[in-house]
Amino acid sequence: MRGWLDWVGFGQIGAPHRLPIVPDSLRGRPWMHGVTKNGTIAAMTKSLFSLLIGAAIALGGVFSGLLPSSLSLPPDSRPIPLTGQVEIGFSPKDGAEALVIRAIGAAQQEILVAAYSFTSKPIAQALLTAHKRGVQVRAVLDKSQRSERYSAATFLANQGIGVRIDEKHAIQHNKYLVIDGHTVELGSFNYSRAAAERNAENVMVIWHQPEIALRYREDWERLWDQATPYTPRSGS
């Protein structure tokens, strides 16, 4: 790069313009035909290059005034320092479902559920147990849960737990719990028997991290406000 800048006359800032001499190694090339020792074509090339560099610098100065001095992330993308404890589980045989159930069992006040496929009887039962001991439980589920042969949507709604169906999005593919405003369970793990016993899935619980929980709660409330209350079919 330095050799190229020297060749076009920019090797030294503030140095007087000079006619570059074409290196001997280039003189025999067909595209350098007609270049003489006084570097006539090289000088023309340097002049054109100088114009291009000048134009680029000038345009850069113009457009730089139109851009913010520093590009910042949107508020929802700000990094959050991790201060809470984190636990991780995997399926099918490394504690994923058990970790979800333990997180539900730790709830004291509130559990907000966002789920895609929800057919797990153990997780549905854990939510019902929490509900019976006074924890407020609400769930936003994907519209596919209307047609599942067994769905926690029907089970939970029949027990008096608030359930809504997200019909706004192509699929409601979130899988997370927001617990007591400070803990979040998330991951690829669907609340289903297949996820627990056959699929390769992961679960993470971030304990006692209110700022992360707030971000998830805000997303959950947006989903809840857009969703439709679920009423089980008669006889379900």
Per the residue annotation, which of 94, 180, 182, 219 is the catalytic one?
180
- Sheet strand arrangement including 183-187: 86-91, 201-206, 183-187, 176-179, 110-115, 136-142, 162-166, 228-229
Burial tier of 153 (Cβ tally within 10 Å: 0-12, 13-18, 19+): buried
- Both tokens of 35, joined, read 């270049």
* Phi/psi of residue 139, nearest 5 degrees: -135, 135
d(CA 21, CA 189): 68
For the chain, give the number of residues.
Answer: 236
Strand partners of residue 67: none
Please say if 173 is a catalytic residue: yes
Per the residue annotation, which of 46, 131, 143, 175 is the catalytic one?
175
Per the residue annotation, which of 168, 169, 173, 208 is the catalytic one?
173
Q: Which residues have a catalytic role annotated?
A: 173, 175, 180
